[in-house]
Structure 1
Amino acid sequence: MTSWTPDLSGRQGPRYRAIADALADDVASGRLPAGTRLPTHRDLAYTLGVTVGTITRAYAEAEKRGLIGGEVGRGTFVQGHKLLTQPSDPFSWSPALEPSIVNMTAITPEHKLTAQALGPTLAAIGASPNIATLLEYSPHAGLPSHRAAVAKWLARQHRVTTTPDNVLLATGAQNAMAVAIAAVARPGDVVLTERLTNYGMKTLAAVEGYHLEGIAIDEHGVVPDAFDSACRRLAPKALYLVPTMHNPTASVMPAARRQEIADIARRHGVVLVEDDVFGFLVREPKPIQAIAPDITIYVSSLSKSVSAGLRVGFVVAPQPLVPRVEAVIRALQYSSPPLPAEVAARWIADGSADRFAEFQRSEAAARQQLARSILPADVVCGHPAAQHLWLVLPEPWRRDDFVAEAARRNAKITGGDVFAVGRASAPHAVRVGLCHPTSRDDLARGLRTLAETLENPESAMLSIV
């Protein structure tokens, strides 16, 4: 173990971040080569005259940047230089580099059934007489046969009734979301969203220059009065929301609340952008699109129900907005790749996609039951059919301390601050992705770590000065 002591002179900001910055500088300069074992939390805290909690947060920040990695029973070590180029992303993680860690930051479903089906499907596509069509530029909105297949899928799995003419293909839900917002807003325009929202919406707004405003939510989703007030004050172009299995809280907006939101949007001339990527998990209530198809741009994908890697997403737009959505698709990507869409269309036609979706529903329910058998009932929030859950931390736990302590124990979760919009204060809660660990055994191991961490609040007190 090295006797490393960081140079903190002249460094501004929180102490834990200054320590992480000093560590980054020493790794970059070669003072701390790959494989160096760092001082323990307590030793470094004593040397610097800070709390152990401060060192825990510093090491967690350094680990997030890819600088270091911990091994239970052995200590904390400097990682190789190749990790330094990885982007700072709260959901980035490499199982090859961290095999002992249970990653519950992402919501990525099991894909073994699709992996088994892909080879035969690709072989059949390769033998098809019209394969050349899949190697050419597609129409901007997608091939007619693919749009028709998606329309059938939406009716069967998402309770969305539409025609192929209103369906436009995208490259995953994130791209569909970007296309939908760009069709109705310009840089500088106000776009509303829930106070806690999908991280992808935050990154999109930052890149495209939208003025994102978070509005209040409760256990049922967007609060109608808060939405109405924001419409009066801010003249927004759109409200982006995830009413079914809200990301991150896993709540489901009741039908009556959906009608209220639609009525307010229509009254103020605001377009609703409904993200229904989790909609296949429950039969009721129906999407807002079914209530107000004339003012709703509906976005979804096959990422949670069939396969994340296919990157097959779709937009259902009101007829007057179809040309604008299509123009955005052309500008951003010309068209979505037809080969993945062909795979999806064949699976929809032969019933394979429905079988895959049913497996995901069953697996999500089983993992929810597992989670609720391990975690304290009074801290678990969210719908029991969701692929994730929302863990509201009891006193004295604070969000950052709990995330850092869980990471130290080899369980990765996502703090509520990642989803907070603007300067809105995030609750002391974390999102737990249940379907990303490769097995239920791995998930159980991670959940037991969280339960044990909750039962040891003395770790939470270490950061209090």
Structure 2
Amino acid sequence: MTNWTPSLEGRPGPLYRVIADALADDIADGTLPVGSRLPTHRDLAFRLGVTVGTVTRAYAEAEKRGLIGGEVGRGTFVQGQRPPPAPLPITWPPAGGNTADAVVNMTTVHPEHAVAVQTFGQTLIDIAASGRAATLIGYGPHAGLPEHRAAIAAWLERQHRVRTGPDSVLLTNGAQNALAVAFGAVARPGDVILAERLTNIGTKALAATQGYHLEGVPIDEHGLVPAAFDSACRRLGPKAAYLVPTLQNPTAVVMPTARRREIIEIARRYGVVLIEDDVFGFMVPDAEPIHGMAPDITLYVSSVSKSLAAGLRLGFIVAPPELRSRAEATIRALQYSAPALPAEVAARWIQDGTADRIVATQREEDLARQRLARSILPADAVCGHPAAQHLWLVLPEPWRREDFIAEARRRGVIVTGADAFAVGRASAPHAVRLGLCMPRGRDEAARGLRALADALDAPAAAMLSIV
């Protein structure tokens, strides 16, 4: 392991990004050669005097840029790809507010909720006048206040097709925290957890920081491959399997009902708990969650981040009775309880119909951006369900993902390569994920999509890095 301690002085911006920028510079000037093993999250945090979480975010940011890659059980290493010279800034919004020449950021799935913004202030005024301040700012029950859990149970049935009672719902600080709780309820450090071979970056970071052995299982155009899942269960004896059956992240695939039943049957055969991430489920109302088919072996995880407002940081778990006490104990250990104020906001919106209006607006916008993308990008390169907030772009020959990412950046668009989602040492396809809802407005989205289409039409650019 290299004894790397970056210099952070004089660098503007959030601390995690400052560390990632310093890492990029040290790779570019040869201070960190290709193949160098980086310090552990905890070691670097100690050297810099920052939190482990800050280093985790910095490494995740560097992995998005294609600078580093993690290998389960071995550590984090500098990748063969070098950052392009004079990279365009990643800051957002652009300085001065001039969007004409600004970078189009398509790296994250970060929807903007105009109705929520318009409603939020009045909701806070109503809460202030309600006489509930003492209840909302004090310590609450570990699983959340009963009235908030009831509101979420109603919301899940209305928008996610999950039928459950309030007692089965446990509130958390967003879906990422809900995953940490779910993992902690069924596994211990060193235990194997299966995941789709391409999975969301936050899950990779969680497994790495908490010491779980995340093992990737092959996927196809319908999601997790049953035969491969069966083999992995038989060979590895996993405690759980994490999957996103509806609008999978990053491929935007919706797993067919028959495939879901196959996965459930295999999980039952080997005694594997299924951790279902359904944050995008509201976008595909006819997709029945795995929870509905197998509630006794499923820890269902979701949040309001993609549907109502990411900043509320309100997530939830639906747990079967035999796992409920363990999940609640994990919540107590991690954060005692989720804050009641964000849950109060969400509950009021659910009860007065505001939440349904927000979702309807979000669906309309997401569908419009998918139509826009599919009208601009070549049809044979576009993959995924047309209701998704993101899109999987499979690169045609002769493009390699690292060259395409560099060319896209040169043209003013930032995207995320498939390697950022690859689990362990799994090889990643030559593809990129586009966050269609990240650009501010359809005009900006169209500008970024046209730049990507132009890049795909310029195959000569793909050969420029070959000497």
TM-score (norm 2): 0.82
Distance 2:245 2:31 in 1: 47
Distance 1:57 1:252 in 2: 32
Pair 10,358 (structure 1): closer, same or farther in 2 beyond 3 Å: closer
Q: Determine helix, strand or coil for the equivalent of 1:248.
A: coil
Q: CA deviation at 1:130?
A: 2.3
Distance 1:241 1:129 in 2: 42
Decide which of 181, 187, 201 is 1:179's aligned counterpart.
181
Q: CA deviation at 1:320?
A: 1.0
Identical pairs, percent: 65
Q: Which runs of 4+ in 1 moved over 6 A?
A: 6-11
> Based on CA coordinates, which of the two structures has the bigger radius of gyration?
1
Q: CA deviation at 1:14?
A: 7.2
Distance 2:222 2:204 in 1: 21
Number of equivalenced pairs = 395
Match of 2:197 in 1: 195
Decide which of 220, 223, 234 is 1:221's aligned counterpart.
223
Match of 1:286 in 2: 288
Instruction: Please say if residues 108 and 436 of structure 1, whose CA atoms lie closer than 8 Å, have aligned partners that are also in contact.
Output: yes
Query: Which residue identity lines up with residue 283 of structure 1 in the other structure?
Result: P
Decide which of 92, 104, 107 is 2:106's aligned counterpart.
104
Residue 13 (structure 1) aligned with residue 15 (structure 2): no
Pair 410,263 (structure 1): closer, same or farther in 2 beyond 3 Å: same
Query: Which residue identity lines up with residue 33 of structure 2 in the other structure?
Result: Q
Match of 1:401 in 2: 403
Distance 1:296 1:57 in 2: 39
Residue 241 (structure 1) aligned with residue 246 (structure 2): no
Instruction: Please say if residues 94 and 103 of structure 2, whose CA atoms lie closer than 8 Å, have aligned partners that are also in contact.
Output: no
Instruction: Please say if residues 57 and 404 of structure 1, whose CA atoms lie closer than 8 Å, have aligned partners that are also in contact.
Output: no
Instruction: Please say if residues 28 and 83 of structure 2, whose CA atoms lie closer than 8 Å, have aligned partners that are also in contact.
Output: no
Pair 93,200 (structure 1): closer, same or farther in 2 beyond 3 Å: farther
Q: CA deviation at 1:311?
A: 0.6
Q: Determine helix, strand or coil for the equivalent of 2:312.
A: coil
1:349-388 to structure 2, matched below 5 A, reads 349-388=351-390
Q: Determine helix, strand or coil for the equivalent of 2:164.
A: coil
Distance 2:350 2:281 in 1: 17
Match of 2:340 in 1: 338
Query: Which residue identity lines up with residue 151 of structure 1 in the other structure?
Result: A
Match of 2:46 in 1: none
Distance 2:291 2:190 in 1: 26
Query: Which residue identity lines up with residue 13 of structure 1 in the other structure?
Result: V
- In the alignment, structure 1 segments of 5+ residues that lack a partner are 1-5, 16-55, 63-67, 71-78, 80-91
CA deviations over 1:134-176 (Å, ceiling 9, x no partner): 0100100000000000000000000000000000001111111
Pair 9,170 (structure 1): closer, same or farther in 2 beyond 3 Å: closer
Distance 2:457 2:31 in 1: 39
Distance 1:195 1:14 in 2: 23
Pair 57,10 (structure 1): closer, same or farther in 2 beyond 3 Å: closer
- State the Cα RMSD in Å: 2.0
- In the alignment, structure 2 segments of 5+ residues that lack a partner are 1-26, 37-79
Match of 2:155 in 1: 153
Decide which of 399, 413, 416 is 1:411's aligned counterpart.
413
Pair 121,329 (structure 1): closer, same or farther in 2 beyond 3 Å: same
Distance 1:102 1:14 in 2: 31
Query: Which residue identity lines up with residue 431 of structure 1 in the other structure?
Result: R
Query: Which residue identity lines up with residue 34 of structure 2 in the other structure?
Result: G
Instruction: Please say if residues 148 and 163 of structure 1, whose CA atoms lie closer than 8 Å, have aligned partners that are also in contact.
Output: yes
Distance 1:130 1:366 in 2: 40
TM-score (norm 1): 0.82
Distance 1:459 1:116 in 2: 44
